């Protein structure tokens, strides 16, 4: 321990916080491997069937993808602002940021939902209903698209729930203190999910153009 | 039996963890790592018995070379059930969830793991996965083998593949929770003075295992998820009809499953280091090298998965590289075997039951490991892949090695967990029965494999008959060996003599508190001033 | 299965069998020495240093580091030795020698379907000549199977969607068991066959006796049935390259360069047409992956080969 005197409660809180953060980082390592398996599949098939993947990429709605990227980046920005606000003890700013983050998260999901719906209309759902004319390996691309963005969306839903929980946690009626550590932990998760999208976006939307 | 005076026998004000609150609710909602360990002990015993019943069924079917389609179909379901249960519902969680939970926090001087609630969640998730798998088996079973190779599993198999795979998927989260918990616990919860190089090797082993659990399990999850997509909705990424590659499934599967075999051996190596030092009253030979060997196995273990695919049509160069790496990953194991032997040198050895299990581990693991080296030798694997030689190889390591270590751990820490001693001679007899029965069961399988008997065959050519009968005979002996402890340990739980805090005169921190320990493990946090194995053989000799 | 397999020895019936057994035997011997040595040392320690024995227990004289270095390097060297020995044999086992007789194999639940070079077809029994390298070109129509002949010490998984190959040279006449050694369903254990090895002249006679005729016999019909003719015949709906004299030629590739048109190229052109696109043509050809079963594919390719070749096909490894 350093020479600075610290009272026991503060020491324990700091200890607890470090433990939680390490826990979150370890969890994120798990997540990396989780998505990693699918990225490997993507890379492998893309190198075998570059043309089918290019065709697949051209079926993507570039506008939606780009909009979603922007939405997520802005949401991450507000998450970071929220984190700062929490550290300063500024409850109002924190809650404002969290509301924005949650709304942006939902906007992301709405846009994604719209995209999925239009894929259904175009007959791009792999399986028996696949109607889209194109190379025979196109369903491979679409399966990976749905699996990877679907799991990402699932993470987004969990993230929105976590942010909603933070809002509840930071409500002035419930707790005296502003939650600092929980915000940091959820923030880590949120940024991570954002990062995954930063990889998904070019891989699915941009490669064939 | 007591050899050393207990290091400390604090007068207990508080009742121990078993007696604090006896209600069922207090068990099902407990956050106490010790109780969670005990919950796992019961659950795993149940699953082991199920897996063993399937094994008994298989060995019975193999008594005669003939068979018909009914027998075949049942047999195929039996070995799948056996493999799935034994791997994911017994051996992967075995030592980590039972003894990792019970002992690890005490061994580093902590009152509990870092995330006690997550720890309980891990048990419930495990149960949920177990229920799914049992439903799949009850509904009619699955016949893919534990490896779920596509496209058989995704398109051709009949049976409840989805249900089975989701069971394994769910259980994976239990592994991840437990692994995450141990990693953070070891980093953050060590007692004052417990530096990294004062950690007992058991803790090192669980720590390395946890890293593998956290990094490899998600890959299995995603692989099974993709396989299930293909089966459920006909939209697979492994389907050769749309250009998918069945080999990709194998790569992903073994990327998990090879590290998983080290999940299934490292904890055993940790336990054996505790046993050999305690019962020969010697510090471990080459502590640091032993610790680094554990880390080396865990790390290199991620790079050798392709040795399961030498004849799968992976490229020649992949084969060469994976073979070379498989040889290299064996070197740290060899270091461990030699160091265990050197530990006995000039010790003061006593062959109590846990020690017998420990020595049995060293012997059988060595044989299993050396046959692993044979499989890593490319031309030999071409001949031996998919035969009983492989079956014998992994049973030597997993049953002869890890299960021995598990039994050793159970006998070693039983007095700590229950506060009671068991009948030592009965325990020694059962250890010997297991050792003999085991060799009788699985040694003939090496020969069968070299003669070319393929695995997963319910019907086989008559020239393999004799050796199969021998193997089944061995399994009966083995079965008796496993049933015996069930009786004398139960007896000991109710009637055994009180053990006292430290019946073996061991040096680990877990022995410095009462048996059974109080809820928070220690009356006051221990302070560590020396390495883990401060044994002195001269003193022990009377 | 009529071979009276000895109780503990498996016959060596191929050129590699003896070499494989030699590595196996040496490794077994080394392992036995190691296990016996460890056992002896352990037992000695257990007896001599049993609790209460009067044996002196002074501290160790030699430094632990030296011991560790010794056994680490020792083990590593022995292991590397086995690796290199195995690797060089494996490389030889993987590369078929030139001039091997090629037999096509289609595996399906639960049978082996063999096509001899002259088109003679047989199920679950494979006739091969003694003393001649034989190459099997295998594919599966459903799940993964594995071709395993213990007496020949060869094995190869047969994977759907791929053409894999395996070669061996039988050294003595006889009948040898053939197993499927990759789990493939209810009758996996019944997917057993036999390899009948005969002296080359008897094999040739056997070959000639059975339905002679070319493997390419059904080619023209298939060429029409699968709609190839619609594009590749003169006056087809799409501008597609004529296929006469393609086999064995150097085909110019869109984007520059040439590719040698061997069998693999023909197969790929049909299954993965977009992989190599002929210069001057649009990538319009659909993939026939999953459309043409492997058996027909073999015949179709054989037919394409009969359409004349640019040069006598070189023996390619
Ligand atoms: C706990 C489980 C476990 C462990 C620890 C291991 C350890 C090893 N395994 Fe094993 N293995 C399995 C479980 C395990 N395996 C299973 C379940 C399968 C089959 C899966 C399936 O298909 O269903 C399998 C299959 C398997 C294969 C594929 C076989 C095939 O299907 O074709 C191979 C091939 O290389 C292999 C190799 C090895 C090696 C090199 C080690 C090494 O780590 C061993 C290292 C140990 C030693 C080497 C012993 C100690 C050494 C000495 C005492 C030194 C001796 C000194 C000299 C020789 C000088 N294993
Ligand atoms: C990880 C742990 C583990 C454990 C502990 C065991 C324990 C045993 N296993 Fe298993 N085994 C596997 C993991 C394990 N196995 C795996 C992963 C596979 C591959 C599956 C696949 O191919 O997908 C396999 C496959 C496998 C096969 C090959 C099946 C095949 O390929 O056709 C056989 C055959 O003998 C076998 C036997 C046994 C036996 C006899 C035991 C014994 O140790 C069990 C001891 C218990 C008993 C014998 C039962 C109790 C006794 C009685 C009730 C008395 C009466 C007994 C008789 C009449 C015999 N196992
Ligand atoms: Cu075909 Cu097993
Ligand atoms: Cu392995």
Contact B499, B421 (CB under 8 A): yes
Q: pTM here?
A: 0.86
Residue B191 at interface with chain A, using a CB cutoff of 8 Å? no
State the Cα torsion C249-C252-C257-C263 to the nearest 10°. -40
pLDDT at A34 over 80: yes
H or E element: which one contains A140?
helix A138-169
Query: What b-and-e string marks burial along B375-408, b requiring 16 or more CB atoms within 10 Å of the CB?
Result: bbbbbbbbbbbbbbbbbbbbbbbbbbbbbbbbbb
Give me the pLDDT at residue C3, please.
39
pLDDT at B125 over 90: yes
Measured between alpha carbons, how far is B426 from B419 in angstroms, rounded to an integer?
Answer: 18
Question: Tens digit of pLDDT for each residue in B410-441?
Answer: 999 999 999 999 999 999 999 999 999 999 99
Give me the pLDDT at residue C39, please.
95
Q: Which ligand is closest in space to the CA of residue B482? A: 2
How many angstroms away from the CA of B329 is the closest CA of chain C?
Answer: 10
Do C283 and A51 lie within an 8 Å CB cutoff?
yes
How many angstroms away from the CA of A126 is the closest CA of chain B?
Answer: 5
- Residue B308 to residues B372, C188, C210: CA-CA distances in angstroms? 11, 20, 40
Contacts of B238-242 spanning 24+ positions with Cβ under 8 A: B238/B150, B238/B151, B238/B154, B239/B150, B239/B151, B239/B154, B239/B155, B240/B151, B240/C159, B240/C160, B240/C161, B240/C162, B240/C289, B240/C290, B241/C161, B241/C289, B241/C290, B242/A136, B242/A137, B242/A139, B242/A140, B242/C289, B242/C290
What confidence tier does C236 reach under pLDDT thresholds 50, 70, 90? low
Q: Is B13 helix (H, G, I), strand (E, B) or coil?
A: coil
Select from B89, B113, B44, B91 the least CA-distant residue to B263.
B91
Measured between alpha carbons, how far is A49 from B425 in angstroms, rounded to an integer?
Answer: 66
What confidence tier does C179 reach under pLDDT thresholds 50, 70, 90? very high
Mutation target among C59, C92, C142, C185 for the B interface, most CBs of B within 10 A: C185
Contact B124, B219 (CB under 8 A): no
Looking at residue B421, what DSSP letter applies? -
Give me the pLDDT at residue A111, please.
93
Contact C112, C178 (CB under 8 A): yes
Provide mean pLDDT across the span A147-154: 94
Contact C218, C292 (CB under 8 A): no
Contact B289, C68 (CB under 8 A): yes
What confidence tier does C4 reach under pLDDT thresholds 50, 70, 90? very low
pLDDT at A8 over 60: yes
Provide mean pLDDT across the span A85-114: 93
Give me the pLDDT at residue A2, please.
43
- Percent of chain A surpassing pLDDT 70: 96
Q: Which ligand is closest in space to the CA of residue B265? A: 1
Residue ranges of the alpha helices (H) in B140-245?
Answer: 161-188, 201-233
Provide mean pLDDT across the span C228-246: 77
Question: CB of C108 closer than 6 A to ligand 3?
Answer: no
What confidence tier does C8 reach under pLDDT thresholds 50, 70, 90? low
Q: Is B321 helix (H, G, I), strand (E, B) or coil?
A: helix
pLDDT at B104 over 70: yes
pLDDT at B353 over 50: yes
Give me the pLDDT at residue B123, please.
97
Question: Tens digit of pLDDT for each residue in B209-257?
Answer: 999 999 999 999 999 999 998 888 877 789 888 888 999 999 999 999 9
Give me the pLDDT at residue A52, please.
85
Nearest CA to ligand 1 atom 38: B372
> How high is the mean pLDDT of chain B?
92
Residue B17 φ/ψ, nearest 5 degrees: -60, -25
Question: Tens digit of pLDDT for each residue in B300-326?
Answer: 999 999 999 999 988 899 999 999 999
Measured between alpha carbons, how far is C174 from A149 in angstroms, rounded to an integer?
Answer: 58
Do A147 and B221 lie within an 8 Å CB cutoff?
no
Select from C143, C154, C206, C212 the least CA-distant residue to C178.
C154
Question: CB of B420 closer than 6 A to ligand 1?
Answer: no
Do B243 and A49 lie within an 8 Å CB cutoff?
yes
List residues bridging with C93 in a β-sheet. Answer: none
Residue ranges of the alpha helices (H) in B386-464?
Answer: 388-395, 404-418, 424-451
Q: How many residues does the structure list for chain B?
A: 542
Q: Residue C86: its chain B contacts at CB < 8 A? A: 323, 377-380
Chain A residue with Cα closest to C271: A136
pLDDT at A69 over 80: yes
pLDDT at C252 over 80: no
For chain C positions 190-209, those within 8 Å of chain B (CB to CB) are 190, 192
Report CA B125 to chain centroid distance, whole Å: 19
What confidence tier does B2 reach under pLDDT thresholds 50, 70, 90? very low
Mutation target among B110, B180, B302 for the A interface, most CBs of A within 10 A: B180
How many angstroms away from the CA of A92 is the closest CA of chain B?
Answer: 31
Give me the pLDDT at residue B243, please.
82
Residue C7 at interface with chain B, using a CB cutoff of 8 Å? yes
Measured between alpha carbons, how far is B60 from B74 in angstroms, rounded to an integer?
Answer: 12
Question: Tens digit of pLDDT for each residue in B82-91?
Answer: 999 999 999 9
Question: CB of B478 closer than 6 A to ligand 2?
Answer: yes
Tokens of C137: 């070109």
Contact B421, B503 (CB under 8 A): yes
Select from B427, B454, B464 the least CA-distant residue to B472.
B464
Q: Which ligand is closest in space to the CA of residue C182? A: 3
- Asked if residue B97 has a cis previous peptide bond (ω within 30° of 0), the answer is no
Give me the pLDDT at residue B540, please.
53
Do A29 and B225 lie within an 8 Å CB cutoff?
no
Residue B536 at interface with chain C, using a CB cutoff of 8 Å? no
Provide mean pLDDT across the span B118-146: 95
Do B313 and C157 lie within an 8 Å CB cutoff?
yes
How many helices (H) and strands (E) are present in chain A, helices listed first? Answer: 6, 0
Q: Residue C53: its chain B contacts at CB < 8 A? A: 541
Residue A12 at interface with chain C, using a CB cutoff of 8 Å? no
Question: Tens digit of pLDDT for each residue in B361-409?
Answer: 999 999 999 999 999 999 999 999 999 999 999 999 999 999 999 999 9
H or E element: which one contains B2?
none
Among B246, B383, B538, select the one facing C159 at the smallest CB separation: B246
Provide mean pLDDT across the span A130-144: 83
Q: Is B175 helix (H, G, I), strand (E, B) or coil?
A: helix
Give me the pLDDT at residue C2, please.
33
> How high is the mean pLDDT of chain A?
88
Residues near ion ligand 4 (CB < 5 Å) are: B 258
Between C47 and A209, whose confidence is greater?
A: C47
What's the A48 CA to ligand 1 centre distance in angstroms? 33
Measured between alpha carbons, how far is B356 from B89 in angstroms, rounded to an integer?
Answer: 26
Contacts across the A-C interface (CB distance below 8 Å): 11
Full DSSP string of B32-71: -HHHHHHHHHHHHHHHHHHHHHHHHHHHHHTTSS---HHH
């Amino acid at each position: 321990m350093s020479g600075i005197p610290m009272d026991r409660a503060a020491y324990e809180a700091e200890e607890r916080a470090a433990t939680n953060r390490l826990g979150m980082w370890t969890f994120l390592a798990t997540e990396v491997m989780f998505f990693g398996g699918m990225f490997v599949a993507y890379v492998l098939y893309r190198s075998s069937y570059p043309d089918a993947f290019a065709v697949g990429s051209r079926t993507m709605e570039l506008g939606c993808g780009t909009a979603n990227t922007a939405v997520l980046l802005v949401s991450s920005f507000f998450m970071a602002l929220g984190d700062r606000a929490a550290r300063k003890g500024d409850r109002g700013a924190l809650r404002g940021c969290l509301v924005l983050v949650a709304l942006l998260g939902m906007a992301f999901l709405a846009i994604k939902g719209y995209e999925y719906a239009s894929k259904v209309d175009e007959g791009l759902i792999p399986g028996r209903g696949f109607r889209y004319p194109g190379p025979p390996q196109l369903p491979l691309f679409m399966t990976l698209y749905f699996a990877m963005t679907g799991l990402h969306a699932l993470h987004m839903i969990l993230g929105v729930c976590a942010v909603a929980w933070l809002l509840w946690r930071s409500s002035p009626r419930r707790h005296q203190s502003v939650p600092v550590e929980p915000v940091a932990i959820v923030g880590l998760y949120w940024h991570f999910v954002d990062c995954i999208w930063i990889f998904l976006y070019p891989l699915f939307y941009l490669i064939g153009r | 039996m007591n050899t050393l005076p207990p290091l400390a026998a604090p007068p207990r004000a508080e009742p121990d963890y078993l007696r604090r609150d006896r209600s069922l609710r207090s068990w099902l909602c407990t956050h106490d790592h010790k109780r969670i360990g005990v919950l796992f002990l019961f659950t795993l015993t149940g699953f082991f018995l199920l897996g063993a019943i399937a094994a008994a069924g298989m060995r019975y079917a193999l008594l005669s070379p003939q068979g018909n389609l009914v027998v075949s179909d049942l047999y195929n379901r039996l070995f799948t059930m056996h493999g799935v249960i034994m791997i994911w519902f017994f051996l992967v969680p075995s030592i980590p969830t039972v003894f990792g939970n019970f002992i690890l926090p005490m061994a580093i001087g902590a009152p509990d793991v870092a995330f006690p609630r997550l720890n309980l969640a891990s048990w419930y998730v495990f149960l949920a996965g177990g229920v799914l798998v049992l439903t799949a088996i009850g509904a009619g079973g699955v016949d893919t083998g534990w490896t779920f190779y596509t496209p058989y599993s995704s398109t051709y198999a009949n049976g409840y593949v989805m249900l089975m795979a989701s069971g394994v998927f769910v259980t994976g989260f239990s592994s991840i929770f437990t692994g995450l918990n141990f990693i953070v616990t070891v980093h953050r919860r060590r007692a004052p003075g417990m530096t990294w190089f004062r950690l007992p090797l058991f803790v090192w082993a669980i720590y390395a295992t946890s890293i593998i659990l956290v990094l490899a399990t998600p890959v299995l999850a995603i692989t099974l998820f993709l396989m299930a997509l293909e089966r459920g909705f006909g939209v697979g990424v492994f389907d050769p009809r749309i250009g998918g590659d069945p080999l990709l499934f194998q790569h992903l599967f073994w990327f998990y499953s090879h590290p998983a075999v080290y999940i299934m051996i490292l904890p055993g190596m940790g336990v054996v280091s505790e046993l050999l030092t305690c019962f020969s009253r010697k510090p471990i030979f080459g502590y640091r090298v032993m610790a680094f060997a554990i880390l080396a196995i865990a790390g290199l273990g991620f790079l050798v998965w392709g040795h399961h695919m030498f004849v799968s049509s992976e490229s020649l160069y992949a084969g060469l590289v994976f073979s070379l790496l498989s040889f290299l990953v064996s070197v740290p194991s060899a270091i461990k075997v030699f160091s265990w032997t050197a530990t006995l040198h000039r010790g003061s050895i006593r062959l109590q039951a846990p020690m017998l299990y420990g020595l049995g581990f060293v012997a059988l693991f060595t044989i299993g490991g050396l046959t692993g080296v044979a499989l890593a030798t490319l031309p030999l694997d071409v001949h031996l892949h998919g035969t009983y030689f492989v079956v014998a190889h992994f049973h030597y390591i997993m049953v002869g090695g890890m299960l021995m270590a598990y039994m050793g751990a159970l006998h070693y820490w039983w007095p700590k967990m229950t506060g009671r001693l068991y009948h030592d001679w009965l325990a020694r007899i059962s250890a010997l029965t297991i050792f003999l029965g085991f060799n009788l069961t699985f040694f003939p399988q090496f020969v069968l494999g070299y003669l070319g008997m393929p695995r997963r065959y319910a019907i086989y050519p008559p020239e393999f008959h004799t050796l199969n009968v021998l193997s089944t005979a061995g399994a009966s002996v083995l079965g008796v060996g496993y049933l015996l402890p069930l009786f004398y340990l139960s007896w000991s739980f109710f009637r055994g003599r009180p053990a006292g805090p430290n019946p073996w005169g061991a040096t680990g921190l877990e022995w410095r508190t009462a048996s059974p320990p109080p809820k928070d493990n220690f009356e006051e946090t221990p302070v560590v001033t020396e390495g883990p194995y401060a044994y002195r053989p001269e003193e022990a000799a009377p | 299965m009529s071979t009276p397999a000895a109780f503990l020895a498996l016959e060596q019936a191929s050129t590699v069998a003896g070499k494989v057994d030699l590595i196996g035997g040496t490794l077994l011997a080394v392992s036995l020495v190691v296990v016996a040595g460890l056992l002896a040392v352990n037992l000695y320690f257990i007896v001599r240093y049993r609790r209460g024995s009067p044996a002196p227990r002074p501290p160790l004289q030699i430094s632990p580091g030296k011991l560790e270095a010794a056994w680490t390097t020792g083990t590593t060297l022995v292991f590397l030795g086995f690796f290199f020995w195995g690797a060089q044999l494996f490389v030889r086992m993987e590369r078929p020698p030139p001039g091997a007789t090629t037999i096509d194999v289609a595996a399906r639940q639960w049978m082996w379907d063999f096509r001899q070079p002259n088109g003679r077809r047989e199920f679950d029994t494979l006739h091969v000549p003694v003393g001649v390298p034989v190459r099997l070109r295998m594919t599966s129509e459903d799940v993964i199977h594995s071709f395993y002949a213990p007496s020949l010490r060869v094995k190869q998984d047969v994977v759907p969607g791929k053409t894999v190959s395996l070669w061996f040279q039988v050294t003595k006449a006889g009948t040898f068991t053939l197993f499927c050694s990759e789990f493939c369903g209810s009758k996996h254990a019944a997917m057993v066959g036999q390899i009948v090895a005969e002296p080359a002249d008897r094999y040739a006679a056997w070959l000639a006796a059975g339905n002679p005729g070319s493997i390419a016999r059904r080619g023209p019909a298939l060429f029409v049935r699968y709609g190839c003719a619609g594009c590749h015949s003169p006056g087809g709906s799409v501008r597609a390259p004529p296929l006469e004299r393609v086999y064995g030629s150097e085909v110019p590739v869109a984007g520059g360069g040439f590719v040698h048109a061997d069998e693999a190229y023909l197969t790929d052109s049909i299954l993965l047409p977009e992989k190599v696109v002929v210069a001057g043509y649009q990538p319009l050809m659909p993939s026939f992956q999953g459309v043409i079963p492997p058996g027909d594919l073999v015949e179709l390719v054989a037919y394409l080969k009969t359409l004349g070749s640019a040069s006598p096909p070189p023996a390619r490894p």
